[in-house]
Amino acid sequence: MQSDAPALTSALRVTGLRVTYGPIVAVDGIDLEVREGEIYGLLGPNGAGKTSALSAIEGLLRPAAGDMVIGDIDARAHRMQAKAQLGVQLQATSFHSNLRLLELVRLFAGLYGVTLSAAQIRELLEEINLQPEASKRFRELSGGQQQRFSLLIATIHDPALVLLDEPTAGLDPQARRQLWDRIERFRKEGRSILLTTHSMEEAQAVCDRVAIMDHGKILTVGTPAGLIAAHRDDPRVRQAAHGGVTLEDVFIALTGQELRD
Amino acid sequence: MRTPLSLVLTFALPLILLVATGLGKNSAVLGGPQFRISLALTVGLVSIGTVGYSLAIARDRDTGVFQRLRVTPAPTWTIMGSRWIVHLGAVLVMAIVVLAVAGLFVRVTLPPQDYLFTVLVALLGSAVFLSIGQAIVGLIASADTLNAAGRLLYVPLIGLSLFGDTDRLGTTVELVSRWSPGGCLEALLSAAMGATAWSDQSWGALFASVGYTVVFAVIGIRWFRWVSH
């Protein structure tokens, strides 16, 4: 399911992606396309299949079927080359507990084949206000600082496509705003971003297009404003709305009101 | 080997054992000096190879360190290989320290080639115990469960290595002990340090050790999961 926007160059093209865990189908043949310079949000309740889809694109699990093209690289045929094109921030991430930030930057830069001088590393940490913490260990940072550092590591090799799995989960409003600014800066630098989120506010604030996903399938795709306009007259949306229709009302109407674990 | 302190504490146990078993008038009852050195090396190998390695891997798996590495273009074998190299390095240092302390305090000195042979056997032994650690971490998902299982395994792995040369507990125990991973290592270390001559028993212990390494490594790799849930 795709919107009717004019064809632009794709940063990521996924077709027929299917992910299974034994008899359970987590992702059921989805298609999605992230265009160059676009911020694309994948929305869905818990268990919708967002993280499984993202994990398949990241190369963390082998899909049962489907094709994934990152830039012009077939990600299933050339996994390592595809990984080199991606910047990834996982939902729950940790780094080697006994390494300091300076050492972690050097380690991950090395894994991506990037050589950084001590001055360049200091500069990078300065950009995210973590230069004073350069000698600290990752576990000694606050939640917001950890998130900023993770994002720095995700983009250390200047990737064209960045995948963010619930990047603002657990952050306070200040840290969340700061992260949105950083995501916005990525867009200005020409990167494409695919993010998953539970926050409709976040999706409306930063995403160019969003896809709403449930039970492993993509239910609808469009700009946040476009989705609101398209579903405004749906009786389920009107029932969910309290006043003006929001993206959250559309989301609730499409995915149902029952609680998900 | 997560911190310098944990490394020191891991080294402390075999060294204490080495020195303490040499104290007192009747210390010879516990075995000759070479036996005490090989016992200390075995304890160090089980601590570093089986317990330390499996726990380090399980913790990194629990906290998502592996997943973070797996999204980079680094081949997955290098992720696990780097952990093996770190632990093999720790074993190498431990073996050298134990042999140095043995020379200074237990008054056991070996010809240069026997030192080399002993260190090589210690590295082979570390491959055996690392593969056992790999099998444990492949079969047990939770770091907490693995911690408890590691402690439980400590006793048979070291205990069995003690009775390979004696039938005081019966011939069945002697046979099981002799062909256990620890018993094979004891036999090889004994030959390496010149306490016994290299014999068919030594060849058998060598082949059994290689077999243990292959079997446990295959189990560990076959059932290993990068995430604990």
On whether any CB of chain A is under 8 Å from the CB of B5, the answer is: no
- B109 neighbors B33 (Cβ within 8 angstroms): no
CA distance B74 to A108: 10
Vertex B88: Cα angle to B117 and B92 (nearest 5): 45
Residues of B with Cβ-Cβ distance to A95 under 8 angstroms:
65, 68
Residue pLDDT, tens place only, B11-43: 888 898 888 877 666 555 556 788 888 889 999
Q: Please determine, for residue B2, whether its predicted confidence score (pLDDT) is greater than 70.
A: no
Phi, psi of B141 (to 5 degrees): -85, -40
Residue pLDDT, tens place only, A205-223: 899 999 999 999 999 999 9
- Tell me, what's the pLDDT at A159? 93
On whether any CB of chain A is under 8 Å from the CB of B83, the answer is: no
Residue with tokens 């906290």: B63
Position A2 confidence tier, pLDDT thresholds 50, 70, 90: very low
CA distance A26 to A65: 12
On whether any CB of chain A is under 8 Å from the CB of B69, the answer is: yes
Contact B73 A92 (CB under 8 A): no
Phi, psi of B121 (to 5 degrees): -65, -40
Q: Would you state the structure tokens that stand for residue A220, as one six-digit string?
A: 């609808």
Which residue on chain A is closest to B5 by alpha carbon?
A: A98
CA distance A83 to A80: 5
Residue pLDDT, tens place only, A116-157: 999 999 999 998 899 999 999 998 998 888 888 998 999 999
CA-wise closest residue to B91 among B61, B65, B133, B127: B127
CA distance B116 to A77: 46
pTM comes to 0.84
CA-wise closest residue to A2 among A25, A28, A35: A35
CA distance B228 to B64: 9
CA distance A64 to A76: 11
Which residue on chain B is closest to A75 by alpha carbon?
A: B73
CA-wise closest residue to A107 among A12, A99, A64: A99
Position A64 confidence tier, pLDDT thresholds 50, 70, 90: very high
Interface with A, mutate which of B61, B71, B76 (most A CBs under 10 A): B71
Interface with B, mutate which of A52, A58, A60 (most B CBs under 10 A): A60
Position A78 confidence tier, pLDDT thresholds 50, 70, 90: very high
**For B61-85, what is the mean pLDDT?**
92
DSSP class of A207:
-
- Tell me, what's the pLDDT at B208? 97
Which residue on chain B is closest to A96 by alpha carbon?
A: B65
Helix (H) or strand (E) holding B212: helix B200-222
Residue with tokens 């595809």: A82
Q: Please determine, for residue A1, whether its predicted confidence score (pLDDT) is greater than 50.
A: no
Collapsing DSSP to helix, strand or coil, B194 comes out as: coil
CB pairs under 8 A between A and B: 45
On whether any CB of chain A is under 8 Å from the CB of B60, the answer is: yes
